[in-house]
A = this chain, B = another copy of it.
Amino acid sequence: MRIGIIGLGVVGSSVAQILQTNQDVIAARAGEEIIPVIGAVRNLHKSRADVTFRLVDDVNVVLNDPTIDTIVELMGGIDEAYVVAQKTLRAGKNLVTANKAMLAYYRYELQEIAGKIPIGFEASVAGGIPIIKALRDGLGANHILEICGILNGTCNFILTNMFLHNMPYATALAKAQELGYAEADPSFDVGGFDAAHKLLILASIAYGIDAKPDSILIEGITDISEDEIAFAREFGYSLKLLAIARKVGNEVELRVHPAFVPLSEMISRVDGVMNGISVVGDCVGETMYYGAGAGGKATASAVISDLIEIARCKSTPMLGFKKSLESGLVLREKDSIRSRYYLRLDVADEAGVLAQVAQILSSENISIRSLLQPSSQKGAKILLSTHLCNEKHIKSAMDKLATLQFVRHAPVMIRIKDSQ
């Protein structure tokens, strides 16, 4: 198998290096040698110790090389990469990509163009954890009831440090940036968008559903404060950014948001930059997958597993099956999502405040499950959790609460993960 690699950053150079150092096991498993013969880079003058093959700075030279049968796309970007992917498939070459953003938008288009040409994308979700193969192959007998993933290492690192080491959000973010776990502009990670892209890919495999990032519920971690950490400790939760796909009747719920997770669940123990994904199938029950969600070598491990799979000539459809083959599943409206909720209200220290809050919640059919009024010098606070209710009702209650005079700013809401 002769491959061309487009993009030789951290992941691309790890791929090149591992293909060399581990060629014994790779060839044994693939049944043939996997040889990188050409690579495309932006800057030809940069020194690259691990690269022993030919480099060019024109992507089309790689795409048009008749001696290679497989393109590994690691250039990043969305539309530019999509053009490369289309050209690859139209030239009849196999495609391996780690590009989750491109797939979040164009995965069905690519499956359509590919026809019987294999596309590997194990590296696009959760780095080295073979979650795509697990969902598509290992759990193939199951209707998937729920996927619940910690898919963004940056957010998990920040939340873990807030929880375990009492760091304020800003300090934890600064530490993540210092260690290279967060970008200078972290908004794509901390806003939940990266996790959402990965969730959409997993949901396609589990449900065959074609949603785009713009149509699903996405909330990030930027509003989390020490109050939430205190609430979590008090009531036996950890606090995680969860990406959830759940089948509810004929609808699929897709959402990314911070959530309190009971410490009894395995996924609550996934700390630091690690990723973890719980998958519940109707036959298998709950299974869980854990590992490094990022990093050059872990991601390269996934890229090469795709190359091995293609070398073995497997012809699995890219997304496991075609669109919506499971009895016409549709995306659930955001408003219909049901959850338990946590609310934080910063209020003036007056009599009758709690009664008014309770009255508003009750008017939306929301009942309180637990409540905490921590004493503070800065003013009064109400931290509460609700029983199950609708997204629509909690949003409406929050709007009403925000208008109350004694409420100092808009309430903070976090969902509480319930067990299936």
Contact = CB atoms under 8 A, between A and B. Distances in A.
A297 B269 contact: no
Given A281-B301, A301-B284, A143 B22 contact: yes
B292 A290 contact: no
A139 B301 contact: yes
Given A128-B283, A285-B291, A291-B284, A26 B141 contact: yes
A286 B325 CA distance: 35
Interface residues of A, number: 64
A362 to B, nearest CB: 39
A106 interface: no
B285 A128 contact: yes
Contacts of A31: 317
A208 B27 CA distance: 14
Given A24-B325, A283-B301, A140 B30 contact: yes
Contacts of A283: 14, 18, 22, 128, 297-298, 300-301, 304
Nearest to A288: B290
Main secondary structure of the interface of A (DSSP, over half): mixed
A118 to B, nearest CB: 11
Interface in A284-318: 284-292, 295, 297-298, 300-305, 308-309, 312-317
Contacts of A212: none
Contacts of A143: 22, 25
Interface in A156-171: none
Interface stretch (A49-57, A130-138, A406-414): A130-138
A393 interface: no
A320 interface: yes
B141 A137 contact: no
A297 B284 contact: yes
Contact of A28 (B138, B314, B326): B326
A312 to B, nearest CB: 6
B18 A304 contact: no
A357 interface: no
A419 interface: no
* Residue of A14, A134, A302, A320 contacting most chain B CB atoms (<10 Å): A134
A375 interface: no
Nearest to A279: B291
Given A266-B269, A313-B315, A315-B313, A26 B287 contact: no
A29 B14 CA distance: 32
Contacts of A14: 283
B326 A24 contact: yes
Interface string A317-328: 100111001110
Contact of A130 (B129, B139, B282, B326): B139
Contact of A137 (B128, B270, B287, B308): B308
Going nearest first, the 6 A-B pairs with the smallest beta carbon separation are: A130-B138, A141-B304, A128-B284, A287-B291, A288-B290, A28-B321
